[in-house]
Homo-oligomer: A and B are copies of this chain.
Amino acid sequence: MAILFTNVTAALMDQAGTILTGGYVQVDGSTITYVGAHRPQGDFDRVVDCTGKVMLPGLINAHTHLPMTLMRGYGGGCDLQTWLHDYIFPAEGKLDAQAVAAGTGLGLAEMIASGVTCVADMYMFTSTIAQEILKAGISANLSCGGVYFGDPADFDPNTCGDCIAQRELTDAWHGAGDGQILMDASIHGEYTSSAPLWQWMAQFAHDHHQRMHVHVSETVSEHQACLTRHGMTPIQTLNQYGVWDNGGIAAHCVYTTPEDWAIMAGKGVSCVHNPYSNLKLGSGVAPIPDMLKAGVNVALGTDGMSSHNSADLFADVKLAALLHSGVRCTPGAVSPRQALEMATVAGAEALGRPTGQIVAGKVADLILVDFTAPNLTPCHDVVENLVFAAHGSNVVMNMARGKIIYENGTFYTLDLEKIQAQVKEYALPLLFG
């Protein structure tokens, strides 16, 4: 399948910060094969005229929990402990694969329609999530959130559920769909697991070329408790066990320190900034401008829909670009370009994937944004409009891995009606009925 995009205006998200105008983008199979000013020769299965639209690499949601879309708005208004113990945990306890599939499909529909082509997800029923991802067509780094909390003496990797899951999921899914799915090694968080698992998971990641996905320093209480327990921060504690040696994702990082950032920058560990979730749960504001200055790669995530309630990553890009200016009284503390990088090229770096840029050789994850919409008129600056004015609803095409999976309101890989029926008739009664 060869597709040619013509009359392309695009934010390539390359190092030079190029805005292509009146150009061409060629896709062969799942790969971008040409980006430039001249019309490539050849026969194309489809030619897409991009007049009035702006092309952007597909957005990367680098920290989420897809099935929690079922819990959007559930237990809102409670304090964190009541919310978790009286609402979220009981609902999660009733989940089965069919409900997880429905919730995942619902989350994917929302994300695909608003321009996401790649996610890093951490949740139970990981195989079910993998199946839904394969069908939907986007790329995903998956993990299941290891939570072994016992003593070293009791730890047996042959019987530890986290280890069994990591091995089985890796066998079944790591690299599936020609790299569409990658398994990340996974520790839920320092506060929910213990040293034997950290050590085992670090070794597993090393042996299987996997990256790590961990919740880190999300709340002040979690961060302080780790200092009390271990005399150092979660980043530093986990680092003692080799957890970061293969790089990966540290989600949240609200209370991380300059020493943490040096470790992260040195080991290729990305921060995933979740600004909406951190605000909603009252966690605080992550020191993103300082982390960027310290050379940490910063990606962007929505977190689960139970602590954000919307998967429109364009809103997170805007918030990431504005929040730090505001709370520091420093306009441009994070630049619009830096915010857009978080959701594209930096997200790709965080997930260890050759995407996030419109550059020949990269995976063809591409979206088109309708710049004729009133909210994107006029356009004095493409990046300024993408970051501050665009909404997910302005996305009119989503191409993931070279296939157009969404166009002008129509899903080509998802049956939205069926998903919504499954949510309504099966999943919601099961969890909340």
Chain A residues with CB under 8 Å of chain B are: 70-77, 79-80, 106, 109-110, 113-114, 220, 275-276, 278-285, 305, 308-312, 315, 318-319, 322-323, 325-333, 335-336, 372, 374-375, 377-381, 384-385, 388-389, 391-393, 416, 420, 423-424, 428, 432
Contact = CB atoms under 8 A, between A and B. Distances in A.
Question: Which residue of A309, A322, A374, A380 has the most chain B CB atoms within 10 A of its CB atom?
Answer: A374
Contacts of A374: 106, 109-110, 113, 416, 420
Given A388-B280, A388-B310, A380 B326 contact: no
A72 B380 contact: yes
Complex copy number for this chain: 2
Contacts of A416: 374
Contacts of A335: 77
Contacts of A379: 73
Q: Sorted from nearest, which 3 A-B pairs have the closest CB atoms?
A: A279-B326, A393-B393, A309-B388
A79 B315 contact: no
A46 B240 CA distance: 70
Given A220-B329, A328-B282, A311 B378 contact: no
Contacts of A283: 326, 329
Contact of A278 (B80, B326, B333): B326
A109 B372 CA distance: 13
A282 B330 contact: yes
A315 B318 CA distance: 10
Contacts of A423: 377-378
Given A327-B327, A378-B72, A308 B420 contact: no
Given A280-B325, A323-B279, A377 B77 contact: no
A389 B329 contact: no
Given A76-B336, A114-B375, A309-B384, 17 more contacts: A74-B380, A76-B388, A77-B332, A106-B374, A110-B374, A279-B325, A279-B326, A279-B327, A280-B388, A282-B325, A282-B326, A310-B388, A310-B389, A312-B391, A372-B420, A378-B428, A380-B432
A391 B310 contact: yes
Contact of A77 (B220, B275, B279, B384): B384
A114 B375 CA distance: 10
B80 A385 contact: no
B322 A280 contact: yes
A98 to B, nearest CB: 15
A282 to B, nearest CB: 4
Contacts of A74: 380-381
Contacts of A279: 322-323, 325-327
Contact of A391 (B308, B378, B380, B391): B391
A213 to B, nearest CB: 23
A310 B375 contact: yes
Nearest to A87: B380
Nearest to A389: B309
A391 B388 contact: no
